[in-house]
Chain A
Amino acid sequence: MALISGFGGVLVFSGTTTVKCRSFTMSTERESLEVTLIGDWRKKYAPGRVRISGTVTLFRQDTTVDATLRAHLFPTNLINSVNAVLTLKFTDQGGVVYNNTMDGGSVDYNVQITSATFSDDGSGAGTWELSWEAQ
């Protein structure tokens, strides 16, 4: 049984497989809903809904990837702003695909960028530090 390494994963970013990605993280959180009845002798909980979010560090590029990202981050009108959506799919080194499996489907996550940072401090490669959340 082989371990799955923490490197070498492949990110598909809004349909682009050649995105220059430096790192990727993904986390899931599930609400815990209390469903205790008055006759129960202990508290009881049921699984609630899942929130999927993460971070991604991309090298800044003069390609359509950055153009897509900038269009998402800096919409030119309100409709573009409220409908802002990117897509993500991650395949780890073990070949396991992380995407939206709900409703019987297997499609890329629709995501929004919740924070984005880059800096030009003259000290190295330009990167985007992005936080994302599945819609």
Chain B
Amino acid sequence: MNHWLTAPVLIPLIGAFLQVFMGYAPLSLRRTLGLATTGLLLVSTVFLLMMADDGSYRAYAFGNWAPPFGIVLVLDRLAALMLFITALLALFCHLFSLGRTDVSSRQFHALFLFQLMGLNMAFLTGDLFNLFVAFEVLLIASYGLLLHGEGTARTVPGLHYVVLNLAGSALFLISVGMIYSVTGTLNMADLARIIPTLNSGDLPLVEAGGMILLVVFALKAALLPLTFWLPKAYASATAPVAALFAVMTKVGVYAIIRVYTLIFGENAGALANLGMDWVFPLALLTMVVGVIGMMGSSGLRTMVAWQVVVSVGTILAAFSLVSEAGLSSALFYTVHTTWVAAGLFLVVDLIAAQRGSAGDKIVTAPRMRNRTFISVMFMLGAVSAAGLPPLSGFFAKLLIMSAAVPGLQMAALWAVILLAGFLSLVAYSRAGSIVFWRNVDGHIGQPERLNFPHTVGAGALIAMSIAIVFAAGPLSDYTDATAEQLRDTSAYIGILDTPMVGEDES
């Protein structure tokens, strides 16, 4: 068994409780340690990414208890990809948080690292109930982070977010119960093995459980009609947190992809592709509502928040095409949108910091100090997010569009994607030209100067959009392979025979 699999969980955990111990140590020390932890995490995920690229499933049985009895972590291409996306994102968000965000509370670094631990747990676990625990870890940490920071603006959105997710957790438990009450197991591989063999009498409970589970994940992913908690929550969070939360919706997406390819996937017999006929239209509607939200937003933060909604719709629309190409394109788009949306959140924060009382509102204000740099960053991000060439968004959308098979589905998908692209183009160009070009005389009290962490944090994430273009070939090879691997559920089920330590490895 390869102990590396635990690294993405243990590194942040250890880093986190060290932070708690050092609650009163000098800030510089805590920062160094925090960044070191995130950096180490990134290294480990890169390592896992390379490991997973051989296309095999690796299982890690905690306590040396064989699955399905003990809890296993499972590493495959999908998990590794998500881990990597998150770790890279986290590093730059963490960097960006130095200075403005992390001084306002001693708990920030600890909460940030706990958040990462929860995320990584969710990506790695191969056990349905442990997935619940992972969700709780990342949620409670996200509550803390969301409410973190000066001022009272985020209290009410925070309350909404918390209450909704508590209700969601209750639903999660109900669905787990329903599924367990029939299958008598919690291990995902075991579930994938058992569910096709169920007799018709047992199906209703499992199906209902599966559907409720879908609702829970849809809430995390902010799929319509469970979208509306997101914009205000994200718009009011501090920039690094909002940026990190770009991956929070993706956890919901990840869970959907995992569970509805493995447990309720094409090989699930009577329950094959459960709920996908609901997801596709809802995903398209989500895109529409999201882009309307972008059009209507009066602040850049809200705009980017809605952008996140749009991207969730796009990913799920591609996924619910239920094809290898669709799945692959969905993953490609996930990589692109997570980093770019996060980068936009950070850039918008730079904008707000230099516009005095105008903040991120789309109104005229005195010319900002570093207009050129910031505006270029914003333009790159916007172009990429709107899906225009030559940046990553274009290729991601291209992949999705060419994944659709001719017919009504394709027509709908293309129409919505292109329309969304057009409207976001209009929205971004309007916002940009007002914010950057329509200046009034006057000057800000002390506009914040660009400092190293901010510039690098924001710049790097935006630059990812260019990097993806150059790496488009390898990346789409990887996502193709991932999609292929995900469709071969029998290989995943194979982890049930992972030899335990001490047993003879035959």
The answer to whether A and B interact is no
- Using a CB–CB cutoff of 8 Å, the interface residues on chain B facing chain A are none
Binding site for B on A (CB under 8 A): none
